[in-house]
Amino acid sequence: MKLDQLSIGQMAQLNRVSEQTLRLYDRMGLLKPSQINENNRYRYYTIGQSAVLDTIQYYKHMGMSLSQIQNELEHQSTDSMRQMLRRRQAEVESEIETLLLAQKSIQRSLDNYDRYVSMPSVGQIFMEYMGERKILVFHGKYDVLENDYSHYEYNLRLFKNHLMDIGFPMSLFCNTGTMIRKKALTDESFRCNEFYVLTNDFPWPQDEIEVVPAGIYLSICCVGFDMEHDFARLLLEEVKKHHFSVAGDYLCEVIYDFPNTEKMERQFFYKIQIPIQ
């Protein structure tokens, strides 16, 4: 093996890259062969050119694109390198934050599926303790319980657009729920035009969130949009039957949902809950 005249195959094998990769680098001008045989057009490299490959691979491991790497190789300087590394550091920190949010969203979904498996049957009223929750609330245009599914979905679009406008992470746009304020519940008007999303997993500004206190809740599970209105009344009747008092706002918490392509709407399993004392 002549170290000052390595074939493309030898250069590729020594550096654990493919011949196609070396040809790409040649076309881009990242790494040109040291010589090309005029008769057979064979490419030859020197062992010293491995330093360029090491630098390319180093930059790639930092997440830089080939065009970015090419620019750095063409304009190498200490200042340029420091600026590039600072930019890339900021990009990596942003990517880490995004991945951590995605991790929390995945964990939340897994927890919800585990909860679904262990929950009482649909229509069975039960009592449970719920810890403190932080929520971000949005006032929709339509009363959910007084209108059909399409109005619910329209409200949900408005809420999602609002969250995008204020920079709320979409990876946490899951298990979006609705609520009925205590007054509308106790006077049985059941006005339900507010949507909320949990913010426990995200450090949102305190002055923009509401805190749902920990406490005892009377709850019931439902499936499908049309079930909530009747079950909400059923749950309130149970509160009266046992002489409980309503301690706060009614919450409808979506445990999971997925699109029903036949009905052209979402299918969801949710829990409605009234805090009692």
- Predicted confidence at residue 124, as pLDDT, reads 95
Closest CA to 219 of 148, 95, 100, 129: 129
- Predicted confidence at residue 99, as pLDDT, reads 87
Across the beta sheet with 35-36, the strand order is 6-7, 43-45, 35-36
> What domains can be seen in the chain, in order of their start residue?
6-76 (1.10.1660.10), 101-276 (3.20.80.10)
Please state the pTM of the whole predicted model.
0.73
What is the Cβ-side half-sphere exposure of residue 135, based on CA atoms within 13 angstroms?
Answer: 24
- Predicted confidence at residue 131, as pLDDT, reads 94
Closest CA to 271 of 151, 128, 157: 128
pLDDT in tens, the chain (277 residues): 888 889 999 999 999 999 999 999 999 999 999 998 888 888 899 999 999 999 999 989 888 889 888 888 887 777 877 888 888 899 899 989 888 888 888 888 888 888 888 889 999 999 999 999 999 999 999 999 999 999 999 999 999 999 999 988 887 787 789 999 999 999 999 999 999 999 887 788 888 899 999 999 999 999 988 899 999 999 999 999 999 999 999 999 998 888 888 888 888 899 999 999 9
How many angstroms separate the Cα of 30 from the Cα of each of 20, 34, 52, 74?
Answer: 13, 12, 8, 9
Q: Going by C-beta distance under 8 Å and a sequence separation of 6 or more, which residues neighbour residue 133?
A: 198, 200, 211, 212
Tokens at residue 39, please? Answer: 């008769």
